[in-house]
Structure 1
Amino acid sequence: MHAGLRITAFTAALAATFGTAYGVGEALDPVIDDATPTARHDTHPGASPEPESGPGDGEGDGGHGGHEAEPAGGLQISEGGYTLDLATARVAAGKRSELSFVVRDSAGRAVTAYQREHDKELHLIVASRDLGTYRHLHPTRAADGTWSIPVDLPRAGGYRVFADFTPAKKGAENLTLGADLAASGPYEPQPLPAPRRTAKVHGYEVRLDGALRPGRAGELQLTVSRAGRPVTDLQPYLGAYGHLVALRSGDLAYLHVHPNGEPGDGTTKPGPDVSFTATAPSTGTYRLFLDFKHEGKVHTAAFTVRTGTPGTPAPSEEPATPHDDTSGHGH
């Protein structure tokens, strides 16, 4: 993945077209257990961030000038002469299925050459429209250009699939193409969890400080601890100490950022703090997913966040309780 901010928005699709009911299932607490993105990124690891405000209450104004959000993109299945051809449009909830797709060029040919970014040629995100299920996957490419990976989506409902890649063609830009996926089963929509500052996952506690602001850059700092002690030996995961993805509730506008700094740059420490500079595409409610690696395992902590507007209440300090695992990582 390109090493900075990127924002992608797309319109919601109707699940009813499949002739059966879909359920988004049980909504999560701001915790998603152990698991494992994308148009353009603007902030590169190691670059000096321009936060509007430092970690804290996240409600004040002032600070450095912000970055305007890029025009919405990525709701397209085709962009820049490339098309996401999703062979798997429907799966059964709770059953292991093979997800396969091809990226085609303007002539309809399967793309077979990609630039490697963050150790992979292509990154795949699968998220349910209720934001209760999140997968960061790394499929395998066959010689003919077909990508595939097993998936097991625990709850029925509508999903969005994002393919994040950069073609090997000289001068090609990083792209994120999106397509809809459905998981059949009973339909039981649930609301998002309330905003909270802390999330617990597999014995770890992650605290979120800072503000996600519409149209202006702000700093988000996530602090990882376990058993009340700061975790100071985070491990690199895909070339970074943490990856943060935000999805806007409603249309799943997509925001992806990498941390300020990277392993081996001489200044970035392996925890407990991982900071990001991010700009929200608009006001609204977002679900944030932080991937971090410790002791050989990747974990995902999740938060519900409302963008900073006058009168917006601060997230509750009440700790969340762990919930069923609905996140996943794949290779």
Structure 2
Amino acid sequence: MNTGLKITAFAAALTTVFGTAYGVGKGVGPMGTPERAEHPGHSAQASAPGTSGAGADANADADADGHGGHPEAARASAPGGLQVSDAGYTLSLDTRQVGPGPAELRFSIKDRDGRKVTAYKTEHGKELHFIVASRDLTVYHHLHPVREADGTWSTPVDLPAAGGYKAFADFTPAADGAKGVTLGADLAVPGTYAPAPMPPATGTAEVDGYDVTLGGTLDPGRAGELRLTVGKDGRPVTNLEPYLGAYGHLVALRDGDLAYLHVHPNAGGPGPEVSFTATAPNAGTYRLFLDFQHEGKVRTAAFTVQAGGPAGAPSAPAATGSTGSTGSTADEPGGHSH
């Protein structure tokens, strides 16, 4: 497999698939070597050389949840983000609709007794990771909300146009034995709305002067390697900066139901290539969002990928679109807020 950062699996969740946001492993190891993800919404990850503890143990102890990096372990998990309630927890949006433009979202995670959760495990530097995407997959925001003492979370967001959106919360409660959970809830921006067509699949995404090239394959039911190579001004970028413990993060959303997966590389150098091992649960269209940091700024490159095709023919992933760190349009899928 090519050098660069590598992940072992859209597996627990593209076949979990979509089975984090920054959905996560059992914590963050050394820079560039986050540990395995172990809950729906995250892919399984192999331990980096020299990594011990949760990463290595999880790889050996892959269970029926479909996590573990082995082909047979990647089949069983339910998709992540499709339910508003799961595992005794509910994503409760105080803000269910906002007008186009800047707004504040407020929400909480409630337990089975209706109490707001106030204690979380910190994973990849955050207690909770929050994604907002439009139903037509042309708008994408990875947000970092702030929690109040009573368990209420809030975050600014800028949704550019009327339409249907979905919010994803990815977290692990601090309760003993609690596993990671990815929940999804609908969000609306009222007004006249016509869904934008899915951006076409092409080979390269341009992001603030960076060119990100996607190679490899995404095959239904079979692991394949996705390779994302970052360049600028015609030269490879070899000094990517760690962002939340890794040199690249990948979120995948399935067209139609927005089934959700977040994967992280587990080892490798700072570019130019970031690689992920991914398994699609079925043939169809997927939208990939790659976050990377360089020169102090996080950027997101968006890709449309077709998984599957004519019998016997390999699938052909490709990329299109661009995004910065703020607003989003059909050509600029989203950004980051902290």
TM-score interval (norm. to shorter): 0.7 to 0.9
CA deviation vs aligned residue, 1:267-312 (integer Å, no higher than 9, x gap) = x110000011112121110111100000000111111100033346
Corresponding position of 1:14: none
2:171 to 141, 145, 165: 165
CA deviation vs aligned residue, 1:104-132 (integer Å, no higher than 9, x gap) = 11111110000000000000010000000
Corresponding position of 2:301: 301
CA deviation vs aligned residue, 1:57-102 (integer Å, no higher than 9, x gap) = xxxxxxx957336223432111111111111100111x21110101
User: Residues 273-284 of structure 1 correspond to what in structure 2 (within 5 A)?
Assistant: 273-284=273-284
Contact kept, 8 Å, 2:282 with 2:308, in 1: the verdict is no
Corresponding position of 2:81: 74
1:121 to 117, 127, 140: 127
Q: What letter corresponds to residue 272 of structure 2 in structure 1?
A: P
* TM-score of the superposed pair, with normalisation by structure 2: 0.76
Corresponding residue SS for 1:90: coil
Corresponding position of 2:137: 131
Corresponding position of 1:55: none
Q: What letter corresponds to residue 178 of structure 2 in structure 1?
A: A
Matched, 1:249 2:255: yes
Q: What letter corresponds to residue 210 of structure 2 in structure 1?
A: Y
CA deviation vs aligned residue, 1:256-275 (integer Å, no higher than 9, x gap) = 211142xxxxxx11000001
Provide the C-alpha distance between the structure 2 equivalents of 1:40 and 1:190, rounded to a whole number of angstroms. 26
Provide the C-alpha distance between the structure 1 equivalents of 2:210 and 2:117, rounded to a whole number of angstroms. 40
CA deviation vs aligned residue, 1:180-228 (integer Å, no higher than 9, x gap) = 0001222122211211121111110011111112222211110000111
Per-residue deviation at 1:320? 6.6
Stretches of structure 1 lacking an aligned partner (at least 5 in a row): 11-36, 49-63, 262-267
Question: Matched residue pairs, number?
Answer: 281
Corresponding residue SS for 2:98: strand
Contact kept, 8 Å, 2:201 with 2:304, in 1: the verdict is yes
* TM-score of the superposed pair, with normalisation by structure 1: 0.78
Corresponding residue SS for 1:215: coil
Provide the C-alpha distance between the structure 1 equivalents of 2:157 and 2:80, rounded to a whole number of angstroms. 26
Distance 1:117 1:281, change over 3 A: same
Provide the C-alpha distance between the structure 1 equivalents of 2:225 and 2:118, rounded to a whole number of angstroms. 37
2:190 to 184, 203, 206: 184
Contact kept, 8 Å, 2:305 with 2:318, in 1: the verdict is no
User: Residues 84-99 of structure 1 correspond to what in structure 2 (within 5 A)?
Assistant: 84-93=91-100, 95-99=101-105
Provide the C-alpha distance between the structure 1 equivalents of 2:302 and 2:212, rounded to a whole number of angstroms. 9
Provide the C-alpha distance between the structure 1 equivalents of 2:71 and 2:183, rounded to a whole number of angstroms. 30
Matched, 1:229 2:235: yes
Distance 1:40 1:251, change over 3 A: closer
Contact kept, 8 Å, 1:127 with 1:159, in 2: the verdict is yes
Q: Larger deviation: 118-127 or 176-185?
A: 176-185
Provide the C-alpha distance between the structure 2 equivalents of 1:234 and 1:287, rounded to a whole number of angstroms. 23
Matched, 1:43 2:52: no
Contact kept, 8 Å, 1:69 with 1:216, in 2: the verdict is no
Distance 1:78 1:219, change over 3 A: same
Distance 1:258 1:121, change over 3 A: same
Distance 1:208 1:142, change over 3 A: same
Distance 1:129 1:140, change over 3 A: same
Matched, 1:217 2:218: no
Per-residue deviation at 1:179? 0.4
Contact kept, 8 Å, 1:260 with 1:277, in 2: the verdict is no
Provide the C-alpha distance between the structure 2 equivalents of 1:114 and 1:279, rounded to a whole number of angstroms. 29
Provide the C-alpha distance between the structure 2 equivalents of 1:72 and 1:169, rounded to a whole number of angstroms. 23
Provide the C-alpha distance between the structure 1 equivalents of 2:17 and 2:189, rounded to a whole number of angstroms. 23
Provide the C-alpha distance between the structure 1 equivalents of 2:142 and 2:82, rounded to a whole number of angstroms. 18
Provide the C-alpha distance between the structure 1 equivalents of 2:175 and 2:222, rounded to a whole number of angstroms. 33
1:328 to 311, 332, 335: 335
Distance 1:324 1:197, change over 3 A: closer
Contact kept, 8 Å, 1:232 with 1:272, in 2: the verdict is yes
Stretches of structure 2 lacking an aligned partner (at least 5 in a row): 1-7, 20-36, 50-69, 324-329
Distance 1:40 1:300, change over 3 A: closer
